[in-house]
């Protein structure tokens, strides 16, 4: 009985030591800045799905951007929703969905001097290779609220179109760095030395899920949204669904809002005021369109396809 208990205990210990990555309801905040504006990126675990027989998390990223006027008064600039990401975990490796297949996002079993390919099928643009490679500069541990987690210092090759830079831990990814590539997912780079690079810079702000709340700065993760007194329309990014659409589209903004719909050449095709959150588009031909919503000084736009 004692031997059986010991074997069982070892099995349980190994099983739990292999459990990395985030728990349900994960939310990340990364601040960013450009030469003209700044804000934060919010990534949320919004659902689970199955892709190629893998149990994957669905992660949705929204952007809230702010800028200043000539009197240096901060005001809301825009909000947007980016394409979704999908991740799953196998052992010490986190994978993400890229170019219709799963690629390695993080491999926490790698050692210094090692690395992995994070994207093997990018288009050759801006003098970059068609393959993105991540190099492990060093390894270590980081203590987060009393628990030690594996940490990797990463850097991508100069010819990689998708890059990482900074420190990444096995609990929730990028947590230290201040560069265009210190983000949860790799970002694109320009490899042309003659091309002026004006990248956004990212840095970690806070993270939480069902088992952890980590905010090392102690500041409000969405400070400007909280304290600028913005309306619901100001705060909420536009989401058009279904997309592709049939005879009508729905908006996640339920106000009666003025809208304009333009085709791919910029020609105005429809305009009016939304009734509730639905707009009839049966008069539109098949193709790609952009809908623009306006409320006082704020405008939002979203691309959609009419089938």
Which of 72-81, 118-127, 143-152, 163-172 is predicted least confidently?
118-127
- Helix, strand, coil percentages (3-state) for the chain, rounded to 5, are 10, 50, 40
In this prediction, residue 75 carries a pLDDT of 79
Say yes or no to pLDDT of 201 above 80.
Answer: yes
How many whole angstroms separate alpha carbon 37 and alpha carbon 224? 13
Specify whether the CB–CB gap between 236 and 244 falls below 8 A: no
In this prediction, residue 149 carries a pLDDT of 95
In this prediction, residue 296 carries a pLDDT of 57
- Stretch 114-118: mean pLDDT: 93
In this prediction the pTM is 0.71
CA separation, residue 280 to residues 60, 66, 246, 273, 284 (Å): 27, 32, 9, 11, 9
In this prediction, residue 144 carries a pLDDT of 94
How many whole angstroms separate alpha carbon 81 and alpha carbon 307? 22
How many whole angstroms separate alpha carbon 57 and alpha carbon 238? 22
- Stretch 81-104: mean pLDDT: 94
The residues, any chain, with a CB within 8 Å of residue 29's CB and separated by 6 or more, are 40, 41, 42, 204, 205, 206, 207, 221, 222
Which of 107-116, 153-162, 193-202, 207-216 is predicted least confidently?
193-202
Torsion, Cα of 94, 85, 43, 26 (10° steps): -50
Going by C-alpha positions, the residue among 155, 152, 120 that lies closest to residue 135 is: 155
Q: Is 135 helix (H, G, I), strand (E, B) or coil?
A: strand
In this prediction, residue 259 carries a pLDDT of 85
Which of 50-54, 71-75, 119-123, 264-268 is predicted least confidently?
119-123
CA separation, residue 127 to residues 121, 145, 152, 195, 285 (Å): 15, 43, 28, 10, 38
In CATH, the number for domain 238-306 is: 2.60.40.3080
Q: Is 184 helix (H, G, I), strand (E, B) or coil?
A: coil
In this prediction, residue 205 carries a pLDDT of 96
Check residues 254 and 103 and name the one with the higher pLDDT: 103
**105 membership: H or E segment, kind and range:** strand 101-107
Say yes or no to pLDDT of 219 above 70.
Answer: yes
CA separation, residue 239 to residues 60, 80, 153, 246 (Å): 12, 8, 36, 16
| 41, two tokens | 């990126």
How many whole angstroms separate alpha carbon 87 and alpha carbon 108? 15
Residue whose pair of structure tokens reads 């492990």 in the numeric block = 136
- Stretch 233-241: mean pLDDT: 67
Q: What ranges do the domains of the chain cover?
A: 19-223, 238-306
Check residues 200 and 293 and name the one with the higher pLDDT: 200
In this prediction, residue 9 carries a pLDDT of 39
Ramachandran angles phi, psi of 53, nearest 5°: 65, 15
Q: Is 227 helix (H, G, I), strand (E, B) or coil?
A: helix
Q: What is the pLDDT of residues 119-154, one digit of tens each?
A: 866 555 667 888 899 999 999 999 999 999 999 999
Check residues 1 and 24 and name the one with the higher pLDDT: 24
Say yes or no to pLDDT of 11 above 60.
Answer: no
242 preceded by a cis bond (ω within 30 of 0)? yes
The residues, any chain, with a CB within 8 Å of residue 176's CB and separated by 6 or more, are 166, 167, 182, 204
- Stretch 56-66: mean pLDDT: 93
Q: How confident is the model at residue 92 (pLDDT cuts 50, 70, 90)?
A: very high
Q: What is the pLDDT of residues 263-277, one digit of tens each?
A: 877 788 998 887 777
| 181, two tokens | 């590539």
């Amino acid at each position: 009985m004692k031997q059986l208990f010991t074997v069982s205990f070892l099995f349980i210990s190994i099983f739990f030591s292999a459990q990395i990555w985030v728990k349900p309801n994960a939310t990340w905040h990364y601040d960013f800045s450009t030469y003209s504006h700044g804000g934060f990126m919010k990534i949320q675990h919004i659902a689970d799905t199955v892709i190629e027989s893998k149990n994957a998390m669905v992660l949705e990223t929204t952007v809230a951007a702010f800028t200043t006027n000539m009197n240096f008064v901060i005001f809301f600039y825009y909000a947007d929703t980016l394409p979704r990401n999908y991740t799953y975990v196998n052992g010490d490796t986190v994978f993400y969905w890229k170019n219709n297949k799963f690629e390695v996002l993080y491999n926490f079993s790698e050692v210094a001097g090692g690395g992995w390919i994070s994207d093997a099928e990018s288009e050759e643009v801006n003098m970059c290779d068609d393959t993105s490679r991540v190099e492990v500069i060093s390894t270590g541990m980081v203590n987060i609220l009393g628990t030690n987690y594996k940490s990797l210092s990463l850097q991508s090759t100069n010819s990689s179109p998708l890059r990482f830079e900074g420190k990444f831990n096995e609990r929730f990814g990028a947590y230290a760095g201040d560069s265009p590539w210190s983000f949860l997912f790799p970002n694109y780079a320009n490899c042309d030395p003659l091309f002026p690079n004006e990248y956004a810079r990212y840095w970690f702000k806070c993270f939480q899920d069902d088992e952890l709340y980590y905010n090392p700065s102690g500041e409000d993760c969405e400070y400007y949204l909280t304290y600028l007194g913005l309306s619901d329309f100001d705060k909420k990014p536009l989401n058009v669904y279904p997309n592709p659409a049939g005879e009508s589209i729905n908006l996640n903004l339920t106000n009666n809002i003025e809208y304009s719909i333009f085709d791919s050449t910029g020609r105005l095709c429809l305009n009016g005021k939304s009734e509730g959150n639905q707009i009839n588009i049966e008069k539109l031909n098949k193709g790609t369109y952009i809908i623009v919503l306006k409320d006082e000084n704020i405008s939002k736009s979203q691309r959609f396809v009419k089938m």
